[in-house]
Amino acid sequence: MGEFTGRGYRPLPATVHIKDSPIDGQGLFAKADIPANTELGESHSFLMQNFDEETRTWERKEWVRTALGAFVNHSSTPNARVDHFRNGVSCFLVIEKDISAGDEITVKYDEAIFDQLGL
């Protein structure tokens, strides 16, 4: 087996890591300073499987979280946001305020958006 070169899929950007969070469980933390307006990557993707032509419905329709989406915690004063449906099937985690190395990356959980997106 060859050595991993770092090319291709990476579950997390090189600038972040997961560790224990004082907010809840584990969280997403900056390994280096991250400037505002940086897009970290895809946080959620919409999965649809087994379309039934007769009923015109999907057997399975749900959101799947990536490592970014799975570990980002809530804050009432967040430093990031989730851009919803920018490409039609995915959401992206975007830094809103400059973040220093060691800071936890947080978003505001908006339950109205959860309902709208079917989360």
pLDDT in the model for residue 58? 67
Domains of the chain: 16-117 (2.170.270.10)
Residue matched to tokens 């969280």 = 27
Contacts of 111 by beta carbon, 8 Å cutoff, 6+ apart: none
Q: Looking at residue 92, what is its pLDDT? A: 84
**Which residue, chain included where needed, has tokens 């490592």?**
67
39-52/90-95 β-pairing: antiparallel
The whole-model pTM stands at 0.75
Half-sphere exposure of 38 (CA within 13 A, CB side): 17
**Residue bearing tokens 């997403």:** 28
Compute the distance between CA of residue 107 and CA of residue 93 in angstroms, rounded to an integer. Answer: 9
* Tokens 């070169």 found at: 5
φ and ψ at 71, to 5 degrees? Answer: -115, 0
Tens digit of each residue's pLDDT (9 = 90 or more) over 47-92: 666 667 787 776 666 677 788 888 889 999 999 988 876 666 678 8
Rg (the chain; Cα; Å)? 16
Share of the chain above pLDDT 90, in %: 37
Q: How confident is the model at residue 18 (pLDDT cuts 50, 70, 90)?
A: very high
Distance CA 24, CA 63 (A): 22
Residues 58 and 50 sit within 8 Å (Cβ to Cβ): yes
